[in-house]
Amino acid sequence: MELDWYLSLSAVLFTIGVIGVLTRKNAIVVFMCAELMLNSVNLTLVSFSAQHGDVHGQILVFFSLCVAAAEAAVGLAIIIAIFRNHLTVDISQINLLRW
Amino acid sequence: MESVNELVTILPAIIIGFAGLLVMMLDAYIENVRLVFRTTTLFTLGALGIAINDMFGHSGEAFYGLITYGGTAAFGAVLVLIGTLVTVILSRDYLEKTGSHIAEVYSMILFGTFGMLILVSANNLVTLFLGIETMSICLYVLAGLVKNEKKGVEAALKYFLLGAFSTGFLLYGMALLYGASGSTFLTDIATLDDKGMIYWAGVALLLVGFFFKISAVPFHMWTPDVYQGAPTTITAYMATASKSAAFVAFIFVLSRALPEARAEWGDVIWLFSILTMVIGNVLALVQDNVKRMLAYSSIAHAGYILIGLAAGTDAAYSAVLFYLFAYTLMNLGAFGIVAYYEWHKGLDFTEVKNYAGLGFKQPVMGVLMSIFLFSMVGIPPFAGFIGKYRVFAAAVDEGLISLVVVGVLASAASVYYYLRVLINLYMHESDPGITLIRPGVLYSATLIILAALTIYFGVKPGDLTNLLGSFKGISY
């Protein structure tokens, strides 16, 4: 198995996620990019797990999927609350708190 | 029977988890906020008692070594539970007065505390990750507790987005360490001989993840916004319990999983410690909002604590634990007083200049605030002084003189912004139209106990420091 390919793919996906979080303005897109980061890590874990012939990595993937689901539930609720208060989800316009 | 024993090993966490579920059900079927509050207080008090007892000798492993408990972990549990108990007690009055007293607060606090208790006793990357995330997700909810408060919801959004971002780094670091070592147990990662690029990338990403959670500069951007926007007693909870838990877990990761790389991460933490102390203190100087000032001050405190981690010896770790204890007491107290001033609906007590003359209106609260702030400055005879002294002394023993010099200068600069609050409280004329509400007995008694402990452990730290010094055998 060519481990390097899997690792490179997940590193590229992770980087796309980081760049997305740092540059995008829409809260939902930012959140999707954060989820992309988590899922690219899951890919890393699964490929290491297969490489080592060890199941612990895949167990961690299951937990990280659960956490991502819980985070999505809370996150989307927060984004709805933001929209009700500010009538926008553009994070550059949500700036009552600064410095 | 084996599994029952394992549950008993981490009894405080089990009690808190059970209490969280119970409280949620009580709220659904009985809808009595007072009852929920009493149940929460009772269970937290019980768990705290057991955790205090666990510091003296009880230790063990559970769930195939995923959890190790006792010694340092038990002390971490005590810190977390003190934070939780005080937050619960202060939250009742604060949320009642500000008109957002809902019972869900208590179950979210309990579930968050459960996550912290797992975090401080984690011996495996899986439990570490789950502990951090259980804690963080509950904190996102708590920050945005008041749904129609614009600043609170904004704080929740910022906390959530940056928290999810930092989780990505943390998990990537864990994945790479797992890939390099083939095991998720902290102690197995330490035995790795062949340290390649994957290992070092994993260490770096893991450190970034932790720096986010303990809000070290330059990963601190979320802290002031979240601390300012969240309800004040919840801010106290985030600033004390969650930070103590993250620091204890950080100590375990550094000392169990990465002991051989100490020279490398020692240098990294050295750098971040200086950045955190300098930038945290400088930005605190220019704040007018009291909560925001306290947020920057907590960043600065994280910098002092990082000095101890950079030293990385057993003595330094026990000094860090003492510092965390003092930090928990004085921050809970200071945020508790700020929350008390915020009770007064219609009066704006967010800016430091609005505190003018309040010290004489309710003398007890003014005196307590002075005690907590003097302790934060690090003036004897308060616990904050002993904490700083012990961390600095441990660093000097390791030859980190430059770090200690920066630390001492930074805490000298911090006198300005702490005393500015006191000068406003006592030396400015107050508006005669303002009358302050008398705080309830439970509220003021809690704050008085915190102040008494701050003084007691400042005058007589010996017992606690001896206890912390005895932990190294069982826990690192």
Q: Domain coordinates of chain A in residue numbers? A: 3-93
Burial environment of residue B64 by CB neighbours within 10 A (0 to 12, 13 to 18, 19 or more): exposed
The whole-number average pLDDT for the span B205-213 is: 95
Q: Is A91 within 8 Å of B161 when comparing Cβ atoms?
A: yes
The whole-number average pLDDT for the span A93-99 is: 75
Query: Per-residue confidence at B319, pLDDT binned at 50, 70, 90?
Result: very high
Query: Per-residue confidence at B1, pLDDT binned at 50, 70, 90?
Result: low
Q: Output the average pLDDT for chain B.
A: 91
- Least trusted range by pLDDT, from A10-19, B51-60, B173-182, B370-379: B51-60
Statement: residue B334 has pLDDT above 80 = yes
Pairwise CA distance, residues B53 & B100, whole Å: 36
- Least trusted range by pLDDT, from B118-132, B215-229, B431-445: B431-445
The whole-number average pLDDT for the span A22-49 is: 94
- Nearest chain A Cα distance for residue B185, angstroms: 10
Answer whether A30 touches B (CB < 8 Å): yes
Residue B294 and residue B331 in contact, taking contact as beta carbons nearer than 8 Å:
yes
* pLDDT at position A1: 63
Share of chain B above pLDDT 70, in %: 99
- Nearest chain B Cα distance for residue A96, angstroms: 7
Nearest to A97 among B126, B151, B184 (CB): B151
Pairwise CA distance, residues B328 & B432, whole Å: 35
* pLDDT at position B251: 93
The whole-number average pLDDT for the span B90-119 is: 92
Query: Per-residue confidence at B259, pLDDT binned at 50, 70, 90?
Result: confident
Statement: residue B466 has pLDDT above 90 = no
pLDDT tens across B36-74, in order?
A: 999 999 999 999 999 999 888 777 888 888 898 888 899
The whole-number average pLDDT for the span B443-448 is: 95
pLDDT tens across B390-421, in order?
A: 999 999 999 999 999 999 999 999 999 999 99
A90 phi and psi, to 5 degrees?
Answer: -80, 115
- Nearest chain A Cα distance for residue B206, angstroms: 13
The whole-number average pLDDT for the span B97-124 is: 92
Q: Is B167 within 8 Å of A67 when comparing Cβ atoms?
A: yes
Nearest to A63 among B130, B157, B183 (CB): B130
ipTM reported for the complex, 2 dp:
0.96
Residue B348 and residue B313 in contact, taking contact as beta carbons nearer than 8 Å:
no
- How many A×B Cβ pairs under 8 Å? 129
- Nearest chain A Cα distance for residue B454, angstroms: 31
Joined tokens for residue B93: 């009055």
Pick the CATH number of A3-93 from 3.40.50.300, 2.40.37.10, 1.10.287.3510, 1.10.540.10: 1.10.287.3510
* pLDDT at position B476: 43
Pairwise CA distance, residues A95 & B189, whole Å: 43
The whole-number average pLDDT for the span B237-254 is: 95
Task: List CB contacts (< 8 A) between A82 and chain B.
Answer: 153-154, 157
* pLDDT at position A99: 54
Statement: residue B474 has pLDDT above 50 = no
Q: Is B164 within 8 Å of A71 when comparing Cβ atoms?
A: yes
Residue B366 C-beta-side C-alpha neighbours within 13 Å: 16
Which of B142, B145, B160 is the best mutation test for A, with the most CBs of A within 10 A? Answer: B160
The whole-number average pLDDT for the span B150-155 is: 90
Q: What is the pTM of this model?
A: 0.95
Task: List CB contacts (< 8 A) between A52 and chain B.
Answer: 179, 182
Nearest to A74 among B129, B137, B171 (CB): B137
List residues bridging with B68 in a β-sheet. B61
Residue B79, Cβ neighbours under 10 Å: how many? 25
Could you write out the DSSP letters of every residue in B243-261? HHHHHHHHHHIIIII-GGG
Nearest to B164 among A34, A40, A59 (CB): A34
Share of chain B above pLDDT 90, in %: 70
Could you write out the DSSP letters of every residue in B211-249? HHHTT-TTS-THHHHHHHHS-HHHHHHIIIIIHHHHHHH
Answer whether A38 touches B (CB < 8 Å): yes
Q: Which residues does B240 contact at the CB level (< 8 Å), separation at least 6?
A: B79, B82, B83, B87, B327, B328, B331, B332
Question: Per CB distance under 8 Å, which residues of B are interface residues toward A?
Answer: 125-126, 129-130, 133, 137, 140-141, 144, 147-148, 150-151, 153-158, 160-161, 164-165, 167-169, 171-172, 174-176, 178-179, 182-184, 224-225, 228-229
Q: Is the dihedral of CA B358, B359, B363, B365 positive or negative?
A: positive
More confident residue, B120 or B357: B120
Query: Per-residue confidence at B456, pLDDT binned at 50, 70, 90?
Result: very high
More confident residue, A99 or B421: B421
Nearest to B154 among A14, A82, A99 (CB): A82
B289 phi and psi, to 5 degrees?
Answer: -80, 130
Where do the domains of chain B lie? 2-469
* pLDDT at position B472: 65
pLDDT tens across B348-369, in order?
A: 888 888 888 888 888 999 999 9
Pairwise CA distance, residues B27 & B176, whole Å: 43
- Nearest chain B Cα distance for residue A92, angstroms: 11
The whole-number average pLDDT for the span B261-289 is: 93
Residue B377 and residue B415 in contact, taking contact as beta carbons nearer than 8 Å:
yes
Statement: residue A49 has pLDDT above 60 = yes
